[in-house]
Amino acid sequence: MSEVVSYERIDRIVVITIDNPPVNAMGHAARRGLCAAVAQFNTDANARIAVLLCAGRTFIAGADISEFDQPPLAPWLPEVVQTLEASPKPIVAAIHGTALGGGLEVAMGCHYRCAVAAAKVGLPEVALGLLPGATGTQRLPRLAGVGKALDMMLSGKPVSAGEAHEHGIIDEIIAGELREGAIAYAERLLEQDAPPRRVSQLRVDKADLDAEFFSDYRQQIARQARGFFAPQQIIQCVEAAVELPYEEALAVERERFTACRESGHSRAQRHLFFAERAAAKIPDVPKDSPLRAINKVAVIGAGTMGGGIAMNLVNAGLPVTLLETDEAGLERGLGSIRSHYEAALKKGRMTQAQLEERMRLINAGLDDIALADADLVIEAVFENMAIKKQVFERLDAVCKPGAILASNTSSLDVNAIAAATRRAEDVIGLHFFAPANVMPLLEIVRATHTAPEVIATAMALAKTLRKTAVLVGVCYGFVGNRMFFPYIREAQMLLLEGVSAARIDQVAYDWGMAMGPHAVSDLSGLDVFYKLYEEWEDKPDDPAYFRMGIELYKQGRYGQKSGAGIYQYDGRTPLPDPAVAELAARLAEELDIAPREISDEEIIERLFYPMINEGARILEEGIALRPGDIDVVFANGYGMPRYRGGPMFYADALGLKTVHAGICKYRERYGERYWTPAPLLEKLAQAGSTFADWQAAQQ
Ligand code: HSC
């Protein structure tokens, strides 16, 4: 038949099996094979009904995303779906694992759908900047209703087989083994003489749609998915499903799908999809590396970071001992964890029983006994090298052999921390991002002597904690903060040049950042930045560097937590503060910086070009393994919108010549200190190349 699709007839029933590991994506071979199998079924005089199922761990996970960068090869997925539907004899989709995107579309092209209870179905294309372009925008509203279909397509979240059954997406839940159950279901359909039931011929139920339904929905999504292109296209397709005959609406879907596929947004989002998966692969730490068992974890420090990390661990079911130096600190820490969970309870995100269970998993400790049997200890004390060294000396003395000793440092030298122990191979950095129980990123810092199995265990732990892990090397600030500092530096330099904080933030927000640089500084705390600045050994010798932050810190203006920072606060609402503009003007005079008219374009370049330039240095030094790893850091830890694809992808999209020329332009004005192009950037720009090409050449 074909290398990935097989055809087997058992009496009157045909079983068509797609076997295209790892996730049965509908690449060209699968599409061709499936069309051929349907043709064979239609001409097989003894065959009465067909069951379509998949081998391996899952039903079809969608179209093959890696093909979207190339011209589409026939048969296209929409044609495959139409071919299934057009079959004069019934076809039953039998689902296990996840039927996603094109996978659910194939299933909706079949005449009946059955699934095991553990299966899930969904249309997650929106996460790739796409829409369900193989008739999904037309079929799901017909099966599940307009509201449910929109919710599924715009959230991208899969639903359980049970929920799909309630909404008419799945016809039959199979108890027990899928193949056997699906064949039995097909037998029953034959006995009932069930005809092919074609979803495209169902009517879209418009009964509950009032006149404002779509305009309200559009507005709501414009707020929720600010800046993204695909969501509005999905709404347009569903509106077409309601308003137009099937064939005409399908033409809208085809056209909008192509617009999405070719958009910069989708390219960026597809890049991140693969970059996130590539980041999990460490060349010298194979997938099957031995792991150390992590059953008990101790967290040192019950402050904001320590508490957040503890919550993250217990949320994943891992028992934690939280350690502090005094009773009061411990009570404060436990109190804030409990109140966090109580807030979740009030919002209905957690039951009382879950709350109690999570609190039960947290033990409190004041002495080292609690550390003795921990498999993993995460230190989350002040960002101060002397204190961290003391902690690690202590850990070396009391922890059992083989325990992993991790530091949550966000910037410091993990080699120096490891040197405080006699077991550097067990020491690693686990840089969580605040709030640690919410932010998806984990930078895993590999020090010179960290054992591969410790790295493998940390990567596996990240999966358990539902974090996106990126392995980074040792340098001040690792990948994220090292690249974030020049961004903050320029944001503060712009203040000295007379641009208001509100304008800088607005420009960054409109570019897509979740928050502008000044709002984010106030949220993280200028005191935190100040401590980082103080601990940074080879910081720039420049009286203007981070000067606004230093002066505001000295005035006790730490940001949101003290009611004032770069902004003043009414609750959490930032308000412009004339005193800050005055401070900026006074410092500018002292530093001999003249105010200038600065365009929005310059603000963007000043914020992002130095970040990209630092990224190029990080790549050259091998601190990050790949440009995509850097992009994953910024998309998951720094509020960069996924449709930009991360700083390195953004640079490639702009063209490295443009970025290089921009940096040289600012070098003319501001000198070499901050504006010397990184050698790698210069080399690639001159060669007309990209970071992606450079990465490909490394392999
Ligand atoms: C789509 O379906 C578009 C259609 O609506 C319209 C098409 C119309 C065309 C019209 C033309 C005119 N493709 O995640 P994992 C790889 S868009 C290619 O680690 P898990 C993945 O890269 C698609 N590759 O496993 C990785 O490779 P590696 C909509 C795919 O168990 C390996 O499989 N569907 C792929 O944690 C394992 O993946 C989606 O968005 C794909 N579709 O999770 C679903 N899916 O080993 C995307 C996976 O080399 N996939 N790979 O690194 C997922 O969400 C997850 O992979 C699963 C499995 C939940 C399926």
The active-site residue out of 85, 125, 383, 443 is 125
Answer yes or no: are the C-beta atoms of 333 and 300 closer than 8 Å.
Answer: no
Query: Which DSSP state fits 378?
Result: E
Mean pLDDT of 175-184: 97
d(CA 432, CA 407): 10
- Contact between 106 and 98 under an 8 Å Cβ cutoff? The reply is no
pLDDT at 203 over 80: yes
Rounded to whole angstroms, how far apart are CA atoms 545 and 611?
16
Give the per-residue pLDDT at 443.
98
* 158 Cβ below 6 A of ligand 1: no
Radius of gyration of the chain (CA): 28
**Average per-residue pLDDT for the chain:** 96
Q: How far apart are CA 379 and CA 299, in angstroms?
A: 6
Pocket test for ligand 1, best of 26, 34, 65, 140 (most atoms within 8 A of CB): 65
88-123 pLDDT, tens digit per residue, is: 999 999 999 999 999 999 999 999 999 999 999 999
Average pLDDT over residues 242-257: 97
The active-site residue out of 105, 253, 490, 614 is: 105
Q: What spacing in Å lies between the alpha carbon of 63 and ligand 1's midpoint? A: 7
Short-list 313, 310, 338, CA closest to 324: 310
Ligand 1 site, residue 133, Cβ cutoff 6 A: yes
DSSP one-letter code for 384: -
Helices marked H in 211-290 = 213-224, 230-243, 246-262, 264-279
The per-residue pLDDT for range 638-693, each reduced to its tens digit, is 999 999 999 999 999 999 999 999 999 999 999 999 999 999 999 999 999 999 99
Can you tell me which residue has the tokens 């000396």? Answer: 393
The strands making up 297-300's β-sheet, listed across from edge to edge, are 362-365, 320-323, 297-300, 376-379, 404-407, 427-432, 441-446, 468-473
Average pLDDT over residues 56-60: 98
Q: Sorting pLDDT into bands at 50, 70 and 90, what band is 368? A: confident
Quick one: CA dihedral 302, 308, 312, 317, positive or negative?
positive
pLDDT of 369 above 90 = no
172 residue type, one letter: E
263-275 per-position pLDDT tens digit? 999 999 999 999 9
pLDDT of amino acid 207: 86
CA–centroid distance, 64 to ligand 1, in Å, is: 7
Question: Regarding beta strands 404-407 and 376-379, do their DSSP bridges make them parallel or antiparallel, or are they unpaired?
Answer: parallel
The residue whose CA is least distant from atom 11 of ligand 1 is 76
pLDDT band for position 364 (cuts 50, 70, 90): confident
Does any ligand 1 atom lie closer than 6 A to the CB of residue 132?
yes
End-to-end CA distance of the chain: 35
pLDDT band with cut points at 50, 70 and 90 for residue 370: confident
Is ligand 1 within 6 A of the CB of residue 125?
yes
99-103, 295-299, 485-489, 695-699: range with lowest mean pLDDT: 695-699
Is residue 305 a contact partner of residue 380, using CB atoms and an 8 Å limit? Answer: yes
Residues facing residue 120 across a β-bridge: 98, 160
Report CA(637)–ligand 1 centroid distance (Å). 23
User: Could you tell me how far CA 531 lies from the centroid of its own chain?
Assistant: 29
Ligand 1 atom with the smallest distance to the CA of 127 is 40
Verify whether residue 324 is a known catalytic residue: no
Percent of the chain whose predicted confidence (pLDDT) is above 70: 100
Q: Which residues of 272-308 are buried (b: 16+ CB within 10 A; e: fewer)?
A: bbebbeebbebeebeeebeebebebbbbbbbebbbbb
Going across the sheet that includes 49-54, the strands are 5-10, 13-18, 49-54, 91-95, 112-116, 172-174
* Spatial distance between the Cα atoms of 230 and 463, rounded to a whole number of angstroms: 28
490 included as an active-site residue:
no
Long-range pairs for 664-672: beta carbons < 8 A, 24 or more residues apart:
666/605, 666/606, 666/609
Look at residue 1 in the predicted model and tell me its pLDDT: 57
Q: Is the CB of 62 under 6 A from ligand 1?
A: yes
Backbone angles phi, psi at 500, to 5 degrees: -75, 150
Distance (angstroms) between ligand 1 centre and the Cα of 16 equals 21
- SS3 at position 208: coil
Average pLDDT over residues 61-67: 97
Whole-structure pTM value: 0.96
What CA–CA distance (Å, rounded) separates 312 from 636? 16
Distances (CA, A) of 510 to 10, 248, 507, 640: 60, 35, 5, 11
Structure tokens at 110: 């079949």
276 lines ligand 1 (CB under 6 A): no
| Token couple for 442 | 């984990």
In tens, the pLDDT along 581-600 reads: 999 999 999 999 999 999 99
- Dihedral (CA of 322, 327, 330, 335) sign: positive
pLDDT at 454: 97
Q: Give me the residue label for tokens 């440009």.
A: 627
Distance 67 CA to ligand 1 centre (A): 11
